[in-house]
Each structure stands twice: as structure tokens, then as C-alpha cells.
Amino acid sequence: MDYREKLEFLKRELKDKGRVLIAFSGGVDSTFLLKVARELLGKENVLAVTAKSQFFPDRELQEAKAFCLDQDIEHLIISGDVLEQAELRKNPPDRCYICKKLIFEKILAVAAQKGITYVAEGSNLDDLEDYRPGKKALAELGIESPLLKAGLTKEEIRTLSREYGLASWSKPSLACLASRIPYGEEITEEKLSKIDLAEQYLLDLGFKQVRVRYHGDVARIELLPQDMARALEPSIAEGIYQKFAEIGFLYTALDLKGYRSGSLNERRHDLEKRHDLLK
């Protein structure tokens, strides 16, 4: 199927579901899914729910709120204090499974209160290519992934988003802040705050796709290859170094391989073995 046929499949999947609840992060995929649901089903049949947690940058929460206000979509923000969970703070290789289960159990509780039986999230076909333990939690809880079911890729969703007039079509790919901390290293609010401040600084400089990976005293920056030369300009590099020092990083490094999704998964298999031995 081409992407337009996939869109029609998506619409058939959503049609006649009664009220639907969309887990809404404000990213490219969930924004597109929410837009299609709102257009197809009407205001009274769509509820967006965003989980606010230490893993979720405030800038994304504000953008999610603004989108729902602009589109006249009912929007609930629930609290997801992920760091309450001791096992999650330990940051095991299945961290995403633990987190997704915690968050979506709360979202399902909202759905039950509202009498909604169809709960969906924004995974797409490309998500099958990376290590995503959270998929197991979604399957266990019966969460629907209609974009994935329609076979839509990230680029196709961006194309359709642009055709729908969504500003999010060119938005950088998102991932929770915890994904910047290597597996096995404790997750704390202080570390998450440092990462958030560092990434916000880079975004304010005009870099679009950024990751700041946390390695203790070292901040490892991932940028798109075409942005590396600018980051190494003496005035820009010095500004980044000074700002990161203020945030609390002793050393700042630019990863020469550049941005790639899930780079901390590159050591995952060794860490999984160690984690299993410690159980």
C-alpha cells in the first residue's frame, strides 16, 4: 500500500470505535493520530491524555497543551511519578517495559472512569526496528497501535502531517530523558534535570535533533552530521562548554558518529546478561 491507502486503513480502524482515548506525548506520531481521530470522530468522541513525569521535558508538555487547545480537543494531564518505583530508578535494560506498564495502567484507569474501551498510542512501523521493551507492556495491557497496524512509517507520517497542515511534521524525534542515561546507572531527578537543561540550551542555539547522553562527569552530545561543523565553531563550542560546565558537567564531548536513535542500546546485550545474573 502507498501512504494514502494506509491512511484510509487507519481511518477504517478508528471509525465506529465510540469514544477513543489517545495517549498523547505531543510528538510527531501521537499528534498525527490525535488529529485524524479528532477530524474523523468529532470533539465529543476523542480524549487526549498526557502523562507528566520526570522523564518528560516540560517544553513537550506545554506544546501538547497548546495543540489540544488549538484543536479544541479534551485533554487530561495525569501524574506519573516514575521515580517512585525503586526498580525503575535502578535503570535495568527493561526500564521501558516497567515505565510503560506504570504509565499505561494509569491511563487505562482514566479510560475506565470515562467509559472508554479503545485506548491507543502512536507507535509506527519503524519502531519495530529498535529495541523497544515497552511494546511488551502495551501488548499485555491491550493498548492499540493503529499507526503500526496501518503499516505507516515515520516518514509517511511526516508526509501526511504536512498535508494535514500540522507544524509537528518537521519536529525532531522524541524519546524520554531516561534514555540518555546508560542502563544500570541509577536514574535521579538531578541527572534528568542536567540532561534537560543541556538539551534545551542546544535547542535554543538552533540545533534541531539533539541528544545529550549522560556519562557521569561527561556529557556526550549527538547531533545530525550536517550540524557538527557549526557546533565546532570556536565561539559556539566555547559557549556550549561553558554552559554545560554551569549545569554540572566537567567534560563535554561531541560524538563523531552523530545522532542515532537508541545509541545506548549498543551495549544492551552485555548489560542484560549482567542484570540477569544479579536477579
Distances (CA, A) of 218 to 67, 140, 243: 35, 37, 13
H or E element in which residue 219 lies: strand 218-223
Fold of 177-267: Alpha-Beta Plaits (3.30.70)
Tell me the one-letter amino acid at 176: C
Q: pLDDT digits over 53-82, tens only?
A: 999 999 999 999 999 999 999 999 998 788
**Statement: residue 279 has pLDDT above 80:** no
**Statement: residue 263 has pLDDT above 80:** no
User: Comparing 87-91, 139-143, 193-197, 261-265, which segment has the lowest mean pLDDT?
Assistant: 261-265
d(CA 257, CA 170): 22
d(CA 169, CA 166): 6
pLDDT mean across residues, the chain: 92
Res 132: pLDDT: 76
Res 262: pLDDT: 67
Res 1: pLDDT: 84
**Statement: residue 155 has pLDDT above 80:** yes
d(CA 208, CA 202): 8
Give yes or no for a contact between 95 and 128, defined as CB atoms under 8 angstroms apart. Answer: no
pTM greater than 0.95: no
Query: What is the average per-residue pLDDT within 5-18?
Result: 95
Q: pLDDT digits over 36-54, tens only?
A: 999 999 999 999 999 999 9
Q: What is the maximum span of the chain, computed from C-alpha positions, in angstroms?
A: 58
| Confidence bin at 273 (pLDDT 50/70/90) | low
Res 187: pLDDT: 97
3-170 and 177-267: same fold? no
Domain boundaries, the chain: 3-170, 177-267
Fold of 3-170: Rossmann fold (3.40.50)
Res 174: pLDDT: 84
Res 245: pLDDT: 98
Res 13: pLDDT: 95
Q: How far is CA 238 from the centre of its chain?
A: 30
Helix 95-114 to helix 134-141 angle (10° resolution) is 30
Place of cell 535502578: 90
